[in-house]
Amino acid sequence: MKEVLRHTHGRSPRIPAQVLHYIGLMNHRTGARSYSSGTLVLAGVIMASTLLSACYVGSGDESSLLRGDEASARGDLDAALAEYRLAVRRGADDAPALARVAHTYAQMGRIDEAGDFYHQAVEQDPGFADQAVSDMVRLARAARDRDDLFGLASAMETAMSFRPGITMQDMALPLARHYLRSGEYATSLPYFQAAIAGMDGDTIPEVVFEAASAYDEVGDCRRALLYYEQYRALVRRYQRSEVDWKIGSCSLRLARALRGAGEDEEALANIERTISLGEPRSDQAEAYFQMGEILSDLGRCEEAMDAYLQVRRADQTGTSARVELAQWRYDQFRFAGPSGGALGVGC
């Protein structure tokens, strides 16, 4: 009996066999002289229960993990998760236990819960980061295959929280389009860049246009124009009306910014692009006026006067304040001359 208790205290995995052996030994010694066989069996069961209970008290977390592993091995994820969660509640909150919970959630397709437990596990042991990334990428691909763009984005964001900068070429375009449609334009940009870089010369025009639109939305017209012009070169003439409007509008906005920074030559080139395309039509009068201002600053007075004259022609109303101001500028050059106090710096 002392031997059994010693192994019980030491949590020996052979205790059940030793208990049964002890019961058999007692039965052999007493026979039927003092106890009936039924009484002995009952006593044995009670003793076995008591000893087994003693065995597992204080190590319930370990037994829960073991039962969870067995359930996971036979594909019973609900049972495995219940056992792993039980182990964590009982105090097995070390990294391996937390990672078991996280991985089980991942197998069940529950992205947020898996991410939460992986973060706890990695905080204790960074070595689990690779497993976390692997599970999250798998979940991201599964979400992509069922057209769940929110799930795709969530899984990849979690993966990147463990490995910043990670990009998966096969998921770059779905992620880029998801963020574009969600209004997260800046977030979409690196994915568009990765998607276009991975096309290896077989560029899809629609993707280039979407990338341009994302740059346009964040106010980066310089880069947006590069993609807009690339898209324009890829499509037929009758398909260019929308992109011509985009190029004209972005060029005018960029010209204003460049002029404010003193980059008159580059500003003029962008204004000329807006005018050459004739789009947006509602901005043509403003484009000619800005051209006159830039030419005046550059000291090209006669060209500036020609630009001011075009404002009335391009203005759709013919009576706007811009038309009157352009006429006043023109008259300054015509009657006062370049040295007669015209507002332009160069003229």
Amino acid at 155: A
Query: Which letter does DSSP use for residue 263 in this model?
Result: -
Question: Is 50 exceeded by the pLDDT of residue 70?
Answer: yes
Provide the pLDDT for residue 295. Answer: 96
pLDDT confidence of 346, banded at 50, 70, 90? low
Q: Copy the structure tokens of residue 339.
A: 């040295």
Give the confidence band of 337 by pLDDT, cuts at 50, 70, 90: low
pLDDT of residue 61: 64
pLDDT value of position 166: 82
Does residue 4 have a pLDDT over 90?
Answer: no
* 71-166, CATH topology level: 1.25.40
φ, ψ at 243 (rounded to 5°): -70, -30
Average pLDDT, the chain: 82
Alpha-carbon distance values, 132 to 5, 169, 219, 299 (Å): 43, 19, 36, 64
pLDDT at 338: 53
Question: Domain extents for the chain?
Answer: 1-57, 71-166
Please tell me the distance from the alpha carbon of residue 268 to that of residue 254, in angstroms, as a whole number: 10
With a cut of 80, say whether residue 222 has pLDDT above it: yes
Residue 83 identity:
E
* Residue from 333, 324, 325 nearest 295 by CA: 333
- From residue 36, alpha-carbon distances to 27, 28, 30, 44, 49 in Å are 10, 12, 10, 12, 20
Three-state SS at 176: helix
Burial 74-113 (b: 16+ CB within 10 A, else e): eeeeebbbbbbbbbbebebeebebbbbbbbbbbbebbbeb
Which of 92-96, 153-157, 243-247 holds the top average pLDDT?
A: 243-247
**Which letter does DSSP use for residue 237 in this model?**
G
Tell me, what's the pLDDT at 46?
31
Least confident of 137-146, 160-169, 231-240: 160-169
For the segment 173-179, the average pLDDT, to the nearest whole number, is: 94
Count, in order, helices (H) and strands (E) of the chain.
Answer: 18, 0
Average pLDDT over residues 230-242: 96
| Number of other residues whose CB lies within 10 A of the CB of residue 201 | 4
Asked if 52 and 19 touch (Cβ cutoff 8 Å), the reply is: yes
Nearest to 274 by CA among 314, 238, 326, 306: 314
pLDDT of residue 334: 84
Angle at Cα 328 formed by Cα 286 and Cα 302, nearest 5°? 75
Per residue in 12-69, pLDDT tens? Answer: 333 343 333 333 433 443 443 333 344 333 334 333 333 333 344 344 467 889 999 9
Distance (Å, whole) CA 249 – CA 190: 24
Residues in the chain: 347
User: Model confidence over 269-324: pLDDT tens digits?
Assistant: 999 999 999 999 999 999 999 999 999 999 999 999 999 999 999 997 767 888 99
- Determine contact, residues 326/289, Cβ cutoff 8 Å: yes
Q: Which of 140, 195, 187 is nearest to 169 (CA)?
A: 195
Question: What CA–CA distances, in Å, run from 89 to 72, 79, 86, 112, 139?
Answer: 19, 15, 5, 20, 26
Check residue 5 and give its pLDDT. 33
CB neighbours of residue 294 within 10 Å: 26
